[in-house]
């Protein structure tokens, strides 16, 4: 058995899910029991502690997809395509969470589940692009053709990521601009809020890394089965 096969048959450490669960629970304690209730939005503001980390995780997933897509087109090595596809799939999951939590927050802040705000719209477009990326992969049977076409979509689609990030700075939008480090009376002015955000970000990024690890292991097993 080759080295790749040995890695695929090596079970993941049992302590990792336990540690992740503990990290997530501790983040929830900080969010709901330690961080104070924000004066303007009340309890609805607490969804931000999950909304922002999910957005960062989605950006990270699509960034990995972009880099690995470029590396595949240069090297034609399937391991880059495998990682790109796994990162894109996990990125779509976290983008779905961003849209869901953002809609809940919008309902409390703007009185509507969805408004055609520029940041919300570009995020929805980003979700559609990489969902299309996954649909493309599912409908092309030839591995080389699938990898080439997916790499092109992964590279071109990444252009929407900076549009999502800079939309609130380049154009006027309803989305709040300074949330983490706002001025007096806005943003996360209380140190307990910032502490909750830091721990929730670490927890969500850890969950992202774990899901990417599992998705990559599944992709390796599928390739071994096809061979």
pTM of the model: 0.86
Specify the pLDDT at position 116: 84
Calpha distance 158→59 (Å, rounded): 9
- Checking if the pLDDT of 1 tops 60, the result is no
Q: Are 134 and 88 in contact (CB under 8 A)?
A: yes
Write the pLDDT tens digit of every residue in 62-75. 999 999 999 999 99
Which class for 134: exposed (0-12), middle (13-18), buried (19 or more C-beta within 10 A)? Answer: middle
Calpha distance 100→103 (Å, rounded): 5
DSSP reduced 3-state for 117: coil
Write the pLDDT tens digit of every residue in 76-127. 999 999 999 999 999 999 999 999 998 888 888 778 888 888 888 899 999 9
Calpha distance 40→105 (Å, rounded): 13
Write the pLDDT tens digit of every residue in 138-195. 999 899 999 999 999 999 999 999 999 887 777 666 566 655 544 444 456 789 999 9
Specify the pLDDT at position 115: 82
Specify the pLDDT at position 169: 76
Q: Are 136 and 174 in contact (CB under 8 A)?
A: no
Write the pLDDT tens digit of every residue in 186-225. 456 789 999 999 999 999 999 999 999 999 998 888 777 6
Residue scoring higher pLDDT (15 or 132) = 132
Specify the pLDDT at position 185: 40
DSSP reduced 3-state for 189: coil
Specify the pLDDT at position 70: 97
């Amino acid at each position: 058995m080759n080295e790749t096969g040995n890695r695929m048959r090596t079970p993941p450490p049992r302590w990792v899910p336990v540690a992740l669960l503990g990290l997530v629970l501790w983040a929830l304690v900080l969010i709901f029991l330690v961080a104070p209730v924000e004066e303007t939005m009340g309890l609805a503001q607490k969804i931000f502690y999950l909304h922002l980390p999910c957005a960062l995780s989605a950006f990270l997933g699509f960034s990995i997809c972009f880099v690995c897509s470029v590396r595949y087109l240069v090297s034609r090595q399937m391991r880059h395509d495998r990682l790109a596809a796994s990162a894109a799939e996990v990125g779509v999951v976290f983008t779905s969470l961003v849209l869901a939590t953002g809609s809940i927050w919008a309902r409390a802040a703007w009185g509507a589940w969805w408004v055609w705000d520029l940041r919300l719209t570009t995020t929805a477009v980003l979700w559609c692009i990489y969902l299309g990326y996954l649909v493309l992969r599912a409908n092309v049977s030839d591995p080389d053709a699938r990898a080439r076409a997916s790499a092109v979509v992964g590279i071109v689609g990444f252009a929407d990521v900076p549009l999502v990030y800079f939309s609130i700075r380049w154009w006027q939008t309803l989305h709040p601009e300074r949330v983490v480090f706002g001025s007096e009376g806005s943003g996360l002015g209380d140190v307990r809020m910032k502490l909750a955000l830091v721990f929730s970000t670490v927890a969500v990024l850890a969950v992202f890394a774990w899901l990417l690890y599992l998705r990559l292991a599944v992709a390796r097993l599928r390739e071994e089965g096809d061979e």
